[in-house]
């Protein structure tokens, strides 16, 4: 090799000198690439695109509050991150694997730990979720069967909708359940206070309506019953009546809250995911295709064979 290094003229001379070898290598590598492409399994990619709605619009604070400041209908960055996290988590992927019967399709045994790990790794390798610049999400799945690739991608979005939406619905149902239990306790207390009032009215002969908690409402004319403890009876009835009225008022408010928290918690109500493009079975396999594979292999064969011959000739000239 000269001090100037490997020059283009030297490379051109090597190509002319060893053109038969270079052509043979180039043709052989191209044929090998075509053979690998034809013999290797074709992988197809199913894609589906969807957008995430703002989950706050299903909250009672925004449904029943007309004075709330308008917020974006689309989910923000944090909500999109949560959707991506849940889609990549086992809570979604394990359900998709089970629903699509991928263990039987791939010939793996999920009953043992090794088979379960292999199935999970294979699914994670073929699965991908990406975010676009328009805040939409694209779920893709690669499989040797085009129909299965599209079905798995669509199933991922469906299971994600169920799991993601169920997270918020479960919280609202839990709040409604807590309030319902509190209402049941108040019902028992109201019944107990009612029994006490009935007993007091019969004991003291006081049947006038006295509701101090309701703007000191009294209906009827207070009359002396002849009972020496008439005044005590009035005070006791007023005290118990006041407690009962407050509890009844609280129960009415909590019953309203329960109905509000139950809004939108039924199946298919207020979905949080809107599919923009449904995955369909792809026609062409994933990759650059057969023609481009042959051309790429031929180029690599030509490049490396030329490079090797040029360096070999340069080493010969250096020894002289």
Does 292 have pLDDT greater than 90?
A: no
Top-confidence residue, 77 or 219: 77
Question: Which pLDDT does position 297 carry in this prediction?
Answer: 80
Top-confidence residue, 208 or 122: 122
Burial class (CB in 10 A: 0-12, 13-18, 19+), 56: middle
Does 293 have pLDDT greater than 80?
A: no
Top-confidence residue, 79 or 10: 79
Q: What confidence category does residue 69 fall into, taking pLDDT thresholds of 50, 70 and 90?
A: low
C-alpha to C-alpha distance for 42 and 31, rounded to whole angstroms: 18
Please name the residue that has the structure tokens 């294979």: 122
C-alpha to C-alpha distance for 268 and 6, rounded to whole angstroms: 70
Q: What confidence category does residue 228 fall into, taking pLDDT thresholds of 50, 70 and 90?
A: low
What is the CA angle 222-224-225, rounded to 5?
Answer: 110
Phi and psi at 59, nearest 5°, equal -85, 145
Top-confidence residue, 10 or 1: 10
Is there a contact between 129 and 89 (Cβ–Cβ < 8 Å)? no
Torsion of CA 10, 15, 21, 24, to 10 degrees: 150
Does 166 have pLDDT greater than 80?
A: yes
Question: Which pLDDT does position 224 carry in this prediction?
Answer: 55
Q: What confidence category does residue 84 fall into, taking pLDDT thresholds of 50, 70 and 90?
A: very high
Question: Which pLDDT does position 231 carry in this prediction?
Answer: 79
C-alpha to C-alpha distance for 17 and 288, rounded to whole angstroms: 33
Is there a contact between 148 and 159 (Cβ–Cβ < 8 Å)? no
Does 114 have pLDDT greater than 90?
A: no
Q: What confidence category does residue 217 fall into, taking pLDDT thresholds of 50, 70 and 90?
A: low
* Alpha-carbon separation of residue 68 from 61, 62, 177, 270 (angstroms): 8, 6, 26, 19
Give Cβ neighbours of residue 196 (< 8 Å, ≥ 6 apart): 240
């Amino acid at each position: 090799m000269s001090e100037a290094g490997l020059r283009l003229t030297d490379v051109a001379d090597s190509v002319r000198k060893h053109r038969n070898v270079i052509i043979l290598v180039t043709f052989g590598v191209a044929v090998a690439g075509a053979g690998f492409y034809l013999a290797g399994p074709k992988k197809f990619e199913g894609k589906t695109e969807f957008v995430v709605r703002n989950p706050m619009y299903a909250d009672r604070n925004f449904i029943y509050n007309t004075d709330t400041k308008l917020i974006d209908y689309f989910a923000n960055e944090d909500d999109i991150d949560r959707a991506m996290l849940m889609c990549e988590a086992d809570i979604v992927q394990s359900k998709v694997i089970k629903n699509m019967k991928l263990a039987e399709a791939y010939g793996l045994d999920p009953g043992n730990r090794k088979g379960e790990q292999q199935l999970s790794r294979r699914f994670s390798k073929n699965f991908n979720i990406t975010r676009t610049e328009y805040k939409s999400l694209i779920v893709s799945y690669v499989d040797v069967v085009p129909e299965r690739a599209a079905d798995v991608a669509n199933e991922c979005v469906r299971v994600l909708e169920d799991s993601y939406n169920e997270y918020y619905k479960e919280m609202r149902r839990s709040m409604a359940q807590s309030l319902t239990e509190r209402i049941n306790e108040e019902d028992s207390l109201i019944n107990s206070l009612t029994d006490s009032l009935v007993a007091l009215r019969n004991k003291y002969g006081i049947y006038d309506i006295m509701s101090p908690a309701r703007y000191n409402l009294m209906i009827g004319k207070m009359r002396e019953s002849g009972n020496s403890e008439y005044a005590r009876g009035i005070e006791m009835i007023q005290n118990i009546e006041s407690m009962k009225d407050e509890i009844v008022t609280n129960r009415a408010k909590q019953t309203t809250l329960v109905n509000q928290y139950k809004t939108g918690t039924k199946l298919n109500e207020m979905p949080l995911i809107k599919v923009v493009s449904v995955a369909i079975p792809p026609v062409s396999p994933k990759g650059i295709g057969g023609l481009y594979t042959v051309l790429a292999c031929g180029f690599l064969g030509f490049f490396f064979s030329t490079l090797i011959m040029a360096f070999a000739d340069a080493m010969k000239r250096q020894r002289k």
